[in-house]
Amino acid sequence: MIENSQPKPKTIQPVAPQTKHVSLVTRPRKILRGVLAGLAIITIYSLATLNNGNLVFADAFKSLGVNLNAMFLHPGVGQDTFGQLLRALVTSVSLAMLTTLLGAVIAFFIAVGAARNLAPSWLATTIKAVMAFIRAIPTILWVLIYSVVMGLGASAAVVGLTFHSVAYLVKAYSESIEETSQDTIEALKASGVGFWPIVFQAILPSIVPALLSWTFIRFEINFANAVAVGAAAGADDIGYFLFMAGSFYFNFHEVGLIVYLLLAVAIVLELVSMKLRGHYLKHN
């Protein structure tokens, strides 16, 4: 007989698995936190030791407010005429276009030599290293250096800007070329197609959208640089007028007007780039 008072029969309890501590803090997270902490410490140190030239901040910000008011709410032409400023603006845009076009053409041919799937690896490495060095030096320094060699004026600005554009675009273009699949190139090589036909008939058509979008990005950069460079090289463009109005005549009304003109160009550029990107995204 089995009675209730009998000791319970042995049952096999499943052993609960050892609880393992799962941490959300993975290695990348730790590195991320370390980097952010490091940057925060550098920032605090830098802000604490920042040389502020014994400024009275309240006064400085008040005068900034007055200047901004003069700039943005009361723009005027100053001692130059509106026509002169427009002409200078056109010069700036042309400067950007010229350097971008020149840079793009030169950069494409260099990029063919810098792409690992087309050129021998020693050549690609050398070109990439040289371009990295040119890119690392700010555009403005190139322009200043060339303004000594060629004299002040447009030529120095064009050559300096082109130099930096080429270095920037070679990197972008060669990376786009390297994305073309090796199979395509090998198939064409096997069927006896020469080097340049491969480049122009197979690779170029497949990377046109990437090239266009990089070139347009560079155009925007070049426009900003053209303004900055005009101030330094005296290329007679809008940057020069900006520099004269801001640093020699202290005419903030004119600075405001020039900033408005530049904003208008920037808005147009942004709209064009949105259209361009939309167009190519749709087709590809």
The interface with another protein within residues 125-164 (CB under 8 A) comprises: 132-133, 136-138, 140-141, 144-146, 148-150, 153-155, 158-159
Binding mask 215-234 for another protein (x = CB under 8 A): ---------x--xx--xx--
* Tally of CB atoms within 10 A around 209: 16
Q: Which is nearer to another protein, 68 or 120 (CB)?
A: 68
Q: Which is nearer to another protein, 187 or 266 (CB)?
A: 266
Q: Is residue 121 within the footprint of another protein (CB under 8 A)?
A: no
Rounded distance between C-alpha atoms, residue 91 and residue 97, angstroms? 10
Taking every pair of C-alpha atoms in the chain, what is the biggest distance, in angstroms? Answer: 118
For another protein, the binding residues in 256-275 under the rule CB under 8 A are 258-259, 262-263, 266-267, 270
| Among residues 97, 152, 210, 276, the one that binds another protein under rule CB under 8 A | 97
Give the nearest distance from C-beta 47 to another protein in angstroms.
6
Which residues contact residue 245 at a Cβ distance below 8 angstroms, ignoring those fewer than 6 apart? 78, 80, 251, 252, 254, 255, 258
| Among residues 37, 60, 272, 274, the one that binds another protein under rule CB under 8 A | 60
Give the nearest distance from C-beta 9 to another protein in angstroms.
44
Q: Is residue 36 within the footprint of another protein (CB under 8 A)?
A: yes
User: Which pairs with CB-CB distance under 8 Å and at least 24 residues apart come from 148-153?
Assistant: 152/233, 152/234, 153/233, 153/234, 153/235, 153/236
Which residues contact residue 228 at a Cβ distance below 8 angstroms, ignoring those fewer than 6 apart? 139, 140, 239
